[in-house]
Amino acid sequence: MTLLRYWPQMICCSNPRCARGCTSGMYPHGPYFYGDAMLNGSLRRVYLGKSPEAWSQKNKTPLPSAAAPPPPQPTRKNKTTTPKPPKPVQPPKPRSTPNKTTTPAQNKTTTPAPTPESARMKAASAFLASKPTAKDALRWLNIDRPDKDLIRKAYRTLAGTAHPDKGGTTIEMQALNTAKDLLTRWTK
């Protein structure tokens, strides 16, 4: 391994509990030495430690005559993109007229059946709109008595489906939190 050049580098650890206070950038750690070395015909960046001399003695490799400045960091090149042509505007599709052979029942448009999600959301908004009682909260959590362990278990089970990250809505989660808070205050 042949060391081509080396340079000192100061490092801020960004640890909020750092005793040196390097999060502000005022007192960074270091200097730590890095260098470029040729290893098996390829250029590698190596960490030399706090003392390049100790690294040189350990690896039995001579140091270059003087420390070189750090190599320039690669910068992102601004990509110049050609603007995309606008999408052609398509005229609206004409409505189809019913055939004379179809029955009126066939032409009737049907509204989709409410999904369980929208039904749960409607129930949750109705629960929040009314002033919920402890009995409503018990019904919302699907438990029969206000026991702390039962409340916690029911809350965690229902939060798995009601949480917005798990496919639920914020309204469902608000209703669940309201029911849990009401019952935990009531059981104290």
Domains and CATH numbers, the chain: 2-59 (no CATH), 116-187 (1.10.287.110)
What pLDDT sits at residue 34? 82
Note the pLDDT tens digit of each residue in 46-89: 888 887 777 777 777 777 765 555 555 555 554 555 666 677 77
Do residues 182 and 137 lie in contact, with contact meaning Cβ atoms separated by under 8 Å? yes
What pLDDT sits at residue 78? 47
Note the pLDDT tens digit of each residue in 135-146: 888 888 888 888
Torsion of CA 83, 88, 89, 93, to 10 degrees: -150
What pLDDT sits at residue 155? 92
Look at the block and give the residue holding tokens 């003087």: 66
- Longest CA–CA separation in the chain, Å: 98
AA identity, residue 1: M
**3-class secondary structure, 70:** coil
What element of type H or E holds 123?
Answer: helix 116-129
What pLDDT sits at residue 71? 57
AA identity, residue 35: G
Cα separation, 59 vs 78, whole angstroms? 41
pLDDT-based confidence at residue 96 (cuts at 50, 70, 90) = low
